Amino acid sequence: MKVVIVGSTGYSGIELVRLCEQHPHIEIGALISTSAGGETLGEVYPHLSHVHDSLSEWSLDLIASSGEVVFFATPAGVSSQWVPRLAERGLICIDLSGDFRLTDPGEYRSWYGREPAEPRYLEQAVYGLSEWNREAIREASVVANPGCYPTAALTGLLPLLAENVIDPGTVVIDAKSGVSGAGRSAKVPLLFAEVNENVRPYKVDGHQHIPEIELGCRRFAGVDLRVSFTPHLIPMSRGICCTVYAALTGGVTTDDIQALYREHYDEAPFVRLRGPGQWPQTKDVTGSNFCDIGFHVDERTGRVVVLSVIDNLMKGASGQALQNLNIRMGWPETAGLTGSPVYP
Ligand SMILES: NC(=O)C1=CN([C@@H]2O[C@H](COP(=O)(O)OP(=O)(O)OC[C@H]3O[C@@H](n4cnc5c(N)ncnc54)[C@H](OP(=O)(O)O)[C@@H]3O)[C@@H](O)[C@H]2O)C=CC1
Ligand SMILES: CC(=O)N[C@@H](CCC(=O)OP(=O)(O)O)C(=O)O
């Protein structure tokens, strides 16, 4: 099957190129690039020179005629304009940006500061948190791929919320991200000297992933809640670690939590659970589509601490996008995604 990647020279775009090249059922139909259309892929990225020849200028007709699937790996505000037109022409659209993740146009406007996509497309888009929405993804024509922080946070949090073992009013999410999470465009706060030997909290007064996390809790656990969420930028290239704190409801034990995670993720090839006392680290998942989860029941405070780690460009973006295409096409969920993490 031929796929088209839009925004192909961005970080999640080239991660998709790398993954598509290894996929048994996918061929790259076209790589669209606004900044490098007309150049070869090897001129921009020598490490990918063997994968595909040319980068193409933006053209709706070229996208529509070059593949059956289009991935948008573009900043917010781009796909909202183009996905409806491509979906109408019969393409399966998988959008990595936030443009189709929130169903309420007003909420998108207030958190992203932009005009939302047409409401009927917001309603029609299927939220691509793979492990929690497989049935809908199988039928989707537009998949809204989740944000990186919501993927890590919801994968750790949802089983606890769905089984009513935590008090929803007490959920606090502390998250750290590597710098590739901010994309490839040049910005002073992302310079080496600004990031190196530094831990920087940011958007403490409101991050755009807060409504997405809260909507995920409503969608998949049926729980209406308000979360506290604080992201931090840390000096590494890839990886997200979400540490989630919540008060336990009475009498919940380590064994109970271990059992409920096992039950929820029994058939999830990319979610790996740690035993008690084993804490996952970002290096355990680097370069892979895994989400590793560990937890600690703190009897002293009555709280549970959940640790959820992902590679932001893989499970947090391009890896999950491909996992969603696998689900959509009825291919094995792990097709093209079987690579082990890179360590050290
Ligand atoms: N980085 C991450 O970890 C994650 C990112 N995301 C989301 O995925 C999307 C892509 O992120 P990321 O790859 O990091 O971003 P980058 O900034 O690295 O890449 C985005 C690319 O989009 C293209 N582009 C930029 N402006 C426009 C425009 N106006 N119209 C069309 N194309 C444009 C450019 O590629 P070209 O010049 O080749 O066209 C650019 O390199 C974003 O919406 C981001 O929020 C989601 C989860 C995780
Ligand atoms: C480190 C870093 O800056 N990360 C980005 C995550 C980008 C993202 O996934 O956001 P949307 O897809 O919702 O636009 C951020 O915190 O905004």
Q: Are 2 and 67 in contact (CB under 8 A)?
A: yes
User: What are the tens digits of pLDDT across the range 189-212?
Assistant: 999 999 999 999 999 999 999 999
d(CA 301, CA 286) in angstroms, rounded, equals 32
What is the C-alpha to C-alpha distance for residues 309 and 239, in angstroms, rounded to an integer?
Answer: 7
Task: Give residue 52's pLDDT.
Answer: 76
pLDDT band at 156 (very low <50, low <70, confident <90, very high): very high
Mention the CATH class of domain 148-312: alpha beta
Q: What percent of the chain has pLDDT over 70?
A: 100
Edge-to-edge strand list for the sheet holding 69-72:
27-32, 2-6, 69-72, 92-95, 142-144, 126-127
Ligand 1 near 148 CB (within 6 A)? yes
Of 49-53, 136-140, 164-168, 180-184, the one with minimum mean pLDDT is 49-53
Q: What's the 266 CA to ligand 2 centre distance in angstroms? A: 30
Indicate where the chain has its CATH 3.40.50.720 domain(s).
2-124
Q: How far apart are CA 132 and CA 264, in angstroms?
A: 9
Between the CA of 182 and the centroid of ligand 1 the distance, in Å, is 9
Are the beta carbons of 120 and 134 closer than 8 angstroms?
A: no
User: Minimal CA–CA distance to 287: which of 248, 314, 264?
Assistant: 314
Mean pLDDT value of segment 16-44: 97
Rounded distance from Cα 175 to ligand 2 centre (Å): 12
Ligand 1: centre distance to CA 97 (Å): 8
Q: Judge whether residue 253 has pLDDT over 80.
A: yes
Report the complex ipTM: 0.98
246, 236, 234, 239: which is closest to 309 by C-alpha?
239
pLDDT digits (tens, 9 = 90+) for 211-225: 999 999 999 999 999
**Mean per-residue pLDDT of the chain:** 97
3-state secondary structure of 291: strand
Distance CA 100, CA 83 (A): 10
180 lines ligand 1 (CB under 6 A): yes
Model confidence band, residue 291 (pLDDT cutoffs 50, 70, 90) = very high
CATH homologous superfamily for the domain 2-124: NAD(P)-binding Rossmann-like Domain (3.40.50.720)
- The residue contributing the CA closest to ligand 1 atom 15 is 183
Based on DSSP, count helices (H) and strands (E) in the chain, helices before strands: 12, 13
Residues 6+ apart with CB under 8 A from 163: 260
Rounded distance, CA 127 to CA 142, Å? 9
- Evaluate: CB of 149 within 6 angstroms of ligand 1: no
CA-CA distance, 331 to 238, in Å (whole number)? 28
CA distance 270 to 289: 6
Q: Tens digit of pLDDT for each residue in 88-134?
A: 999 999 999 999 999 999 999 999 999 999 999 999 999 999 999 99
Q: Hey, is 84 helix, strand or coil?
A: helix
Which ligand 1 atom is nearest residue 177's CA?
3
The SS3 assignment for 47 reads helix
CATH 3.30.360.10 residue ranges for the chain: 148-312
Burial class (CB in 10 A: 0-12, 13-18, 19+), 234: middle
> Which ligand 1 atom minimizes the distance to the CA of 151?
47
Ligand 1 near 81 CB (within 6 A)? no
List the residue whose alpha carbon is closest to atom 40 of ligand 1: 10
Is the pLDDT score of 265 beyond 90?
yes
The residue-averaged pLDDT of 244-268 equals 96
Q: Which residues pair with 177 in a beta bridge?
A: 233, 240
For the segment 54-59, the average pLDDT, to the nearest whole number, is 96
* Contact partners, residue 192, CB within 8 Å, separation at least 6: none
Q: Give Cα 35 distance to the centre of its chain.
A: 24
Element holding 156 (H helix, E strand): helix 148-162
**Banded pLDDT at 14 (limits 50, 70, 90):** very high
> Is 96's C-beta closer than 6 angstroms to any atom of ligand 1?
yes
Q: How far apart are CA 78 and CA 72, in angstroms?
A: 8
Confidence of residue 250 (pLDDT cuts 50, 70, 90): confident
Work out the number of other CB atoms within 10 angstroms of the CB of residue 110: 13
- pTM reported for the whole predicted model: 0.98
- Decide if 212 contacts 151 (C-beta within 8 A): no
pLDDT value at position 53?
Answer: 77
